[in-house]
């Protein structure tokens, strides 16, 4: 005989329409947006750490330059005294 109503409906598959955002994709996009958002307090704290790091690097460079100048002075004094020591 002919198919029943239930048998004919079971053979039909529905496909989701393209371009329609599913709940999982929307949640993932929202989560990504939240992950990229930085609060003002976090940004200010980061800025403060960067400024401290810059100040520290500047101080270390000045200290290194002063140490190099002292070392050059010591080397020059040693070279100056070296010929005198050879003849003694």
**pLDDT score for 86:** 60
Quote the Cα angle for 43-44-47, to 5°.
85
**pLDDT score for 38:** 73
Q: Which residues of the chain have pLDDT under 50?
A: 1, 4-14
**pLDDT score for 85:** 62
**pLDDT score for 12:** 46
pTM: 0.48
Which run of H or of E encompasses 76? Answer: helix 40-87
**pLDDT score for 59:** 98
**pLDDT score for 79:** 86
Q: Domain locations in the chain? A: 39-88
Whole-angstrom distance, CA of residue 82 vs CA of residue 85: 5
């Amino acid at each position: 005989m002919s198919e029943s109503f239930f048998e004919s409906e079971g053979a039909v598959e529905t496909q989701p329409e393209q371009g329609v955002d599913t709940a999982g994709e929307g949640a993932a996009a929202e989560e990504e947006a939240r992950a990229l958002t930085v609060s003002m307090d976090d940004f200010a704290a980061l800025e403060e750490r960067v400024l401290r790091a810059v100040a520290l690097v500047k101080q270390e460079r000045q200290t290194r330059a002063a140490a190099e100048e002292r070392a050059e002075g010591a080397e020059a004094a040693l070279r100056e005294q070296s010929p005198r020591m050879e003849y003694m």
